[in-house]
């Protein structure tokens, strides 16, 4: 609430920890870009928030002057917690450019002091732990509510057994990589997933891709065509374009699809917008740009927010198939294997050479049943086997 003005001083308003995604419940205030007394204009970056997915630059919603810093660098606080007081108007809320679901999600309940894989520790304790290779999960905290202090980490480091020459080298991992690890561990633990598998004859698709790339323009990859097939499947089966959220479903109107990209900091999933309605050549441009941003570490919060399904492709590495892990809050992910050349009997029983791709759909059973999963996979396979449908831009 704004404070009462005194001596004609401007009223102060809270700046709060923003909600930067459907599943975000807390964030680490990684860096302040402004200090008490600084005047900032609307759109100026004033602090940086780290979530379990990415670092986000938070901009001032209006012009104002920072009066007081309430949360220090390195502290983890729930969404909605005041982090500073200032003279500007408005509150920092959801990411302005993030896509909106067709149905509003219920607001998540605040997390308790210690939850899941998140360890409560002071910023100094975290720095010492990283420098000395101490696992904070194995440290008992002596601070309030079990918070780990620097002295706790130093004591743990002194009592840790020295590594023998045969144990190998301990390699520190980046914060982004560790965030990815926590995310997949939580997904595997919390999501009741199941898989549906089938193959698709992609001979016609490979020929169409050859023809498209022969006439110039943006280069279209097999992955682009799979992404397009998934987007069109969502147009025909809107019931599959949902995610789970606290005893409710969120239904999306746009056919957004995530694309798994490997980088030195782990796996990232940029979201491609309304793929089912996007022309294939435009999709090829967008997917190439998104992959480059992911590998260069330039993804913003809006780039990884939204969508109910992603595509993970290992076909270029010769893997026959893969069973990918769903990336929450999404409800499904499609694994793509390598194209195989093999003989199958034709309509007359004679051997015919086919080029087949294995598709594995991992689904959240809270959103999908077996029939819906099979229908979605069937729609994707049919689009790949009749690939000229991928040149259409409307359902």
Alpha carbon separation from 245 to 22, 256, 293, 383 (Å, rounded): 9, 18, 29, 30
Tell me whether residue 249 is one of the annotated catalytic residues. no
HSE at residue 216, side-chain half, CA atoms within 13 A, is 0
Domain ranges of the chain: 13-86, 123-177, 192-391
Pairing of strands 271-272, 309-313: unpaired
> Is 231:383 a contact under the CB 8 Å cutoff?
no
Query: In the chain, what is the straight-line distance between the N-terminal and C-terminal CA atoms, in Å?
Result: 47
List the beta bridge partners of residue 69: 84
Phi, psi at residue 5, to the nearest 5°? Answer: -65, 145
What pLDDT is attached to residue 103? 42
Beta-carbon count within 10 A of 43 CB? 10
Given the residues 137, 249, 365, 388, select the one marked as catalytic.
365
Degrees, nearest 5: CA angle 67-72-74: 150
Task: Give the span between the Cα atoms of 356 and 74, in whole angstroms.
Answer: 50
pLDDT at 306: 93
Q: Is the peptide bond before 157 cis (omega within 30 degrees of 0)?
A: no
* CA pair distance 363, 334, nearest whole angstrom: 9
For 141, other C-beta atoms within 10 Å of its C-beta total: 19
Picking from 18, 19, 23, the residue whose alpha carbon sits closest to that of residue 331 is: 23
Those residues whose C-beta lies under 8 Å from the C-beta of residue 5, and which sit 6 or more positions away, are: 11
d(CA 381, CA 202): 9
* Per-residue pLDDT, 53: 64
Angle, nearest 10°, between helix axes 203-214 and 222-236? Answer: 120
Report the pLDDT value the prediction gives residue 380, as an integer from 0 to 100: 98
Pick the CATH number of 192-391 from 3.40.50.300, 1.20.140.10, 3.30.559.10, 2.60.120.260: 3.30.559.10
- Rounded to whole angstroms, the Cα distance separating 334 from 197 reads 10
- What is the Cα Rg of the chain in Å? 25
CATH class of 13-86: mainly beta
Structure tokens at 371: 């029939």
How confident is the model at residue 110, as a pLDDT?
38
What confidence score (pLDDT) does residue 5 get? 53
What is the helix (H) or strand (E) element at residue 13, kind and residue range? strand 13-16
Given this model, what pLDDT does residue 385 score? Answer: 96
pLDDT in tens, the chain (395 residues): 555 555 666 788 888 988 887 767 888 888 899 999 999 998 888 998 877 667 788 888 889 999 999 999 888 888 889 999 999 876 654 443 344 444 444 443 333 334 445 677 877 778 788 878 888 888 888 877 677 887 888 888 877 665 555 678 888 877 777 778 888 888 889 999 999 999 999 999 999 999 999 998 899 999 999 999 999 999 999 999 999 998 899 999 999 999 999 988 788 999 999 999 999 999 999 999 999 999 988 888 889 999 999 999 998 899 999 999 999 999 999 999 999 999 988 888 889 889 999 999 999 999 999 999 999 999 999 999 999 999 987 64
Per-residue model confidence (pLDDT) at position 4: 53
Name the class of domain 123-177: few secondary structures
């Amino acid at each position: 609430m704004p404070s009462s003005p005194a001596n004609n001083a401007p009223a102060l308003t809270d700046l709060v920890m923003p909600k930067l995604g459907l599943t975000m419940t807390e964030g680490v205030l990684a860096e302040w870009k402004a200090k008490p007394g600084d005047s900032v204009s609307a759109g100026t970056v004033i602090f940086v928030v780290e979530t379990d997915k990415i670092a986000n630059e938070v901009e001032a919603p209006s012009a104002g002057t920072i009066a007081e810093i309430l949360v220090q660098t390195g502290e983890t606080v729930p969404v909605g917690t005041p982090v500073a007081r200032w003279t500007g108007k408005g509150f920092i809320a959801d990411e302005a450019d993030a896509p909106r679901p067709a149905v509003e999600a219920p607001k998540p309940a605040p997390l308790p002091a210690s939850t899941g894989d998140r360890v409560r520790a002071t910023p100094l304790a975290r720095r010492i732990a990283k420098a000395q290779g101490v696992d904070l999960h194995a440290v008992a905290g002596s601070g309030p509510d079990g918070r780990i202090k620097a002295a706790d980490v130093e004591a743990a480091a002194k009592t840790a057994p020295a590594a023998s020459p045969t144990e190998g080298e301990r390699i520190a991992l980046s914060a982004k990589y560790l965030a990815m690890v926590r995310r997949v561990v939580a997904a595997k633990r919390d999501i009741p997933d199941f898989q549906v598998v089938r193959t698709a004859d992609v001979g016609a698709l490979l020929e169409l891709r050859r023809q498209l790339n022969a006439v110039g323009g943006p280069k279209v990859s097999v992955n682009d065509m799979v992404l397009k097939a998934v987007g069109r499947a969502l147009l025909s089966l809107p019931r599959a374009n949902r995610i789970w959220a606290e005893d409710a479903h969120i239904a999306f109107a746009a056919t957004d699809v995530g694309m798994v990209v490997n980088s030195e900091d782990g796996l990232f999933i940029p979201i491609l917008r309304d793929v089912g309605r996007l022309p294939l050549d435009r999709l090829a441009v967008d997917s190439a740009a998104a992959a480059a941003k992911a590998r260069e570490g330039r993804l913003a919060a809006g780039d990884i927010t939204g969508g109910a399904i992603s595509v993970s492709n290992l076909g270029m590495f010769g893997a026959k198939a893969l069973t990918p892990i769903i990336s929450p809050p999404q409800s499904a992910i499609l694994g793509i294997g390598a194209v195989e050349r093999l003989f199958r009997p034709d309509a007359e029983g004679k051997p015919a050479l086919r080029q087949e791709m294995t598709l594995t759909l991992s689904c959240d059973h809270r959103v999908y049943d077996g029939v819906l999963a099979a229908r979605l996979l069937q729609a994707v396979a049919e689009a790949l086997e009749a690939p000229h449908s991928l040149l259409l831009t409307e359902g």
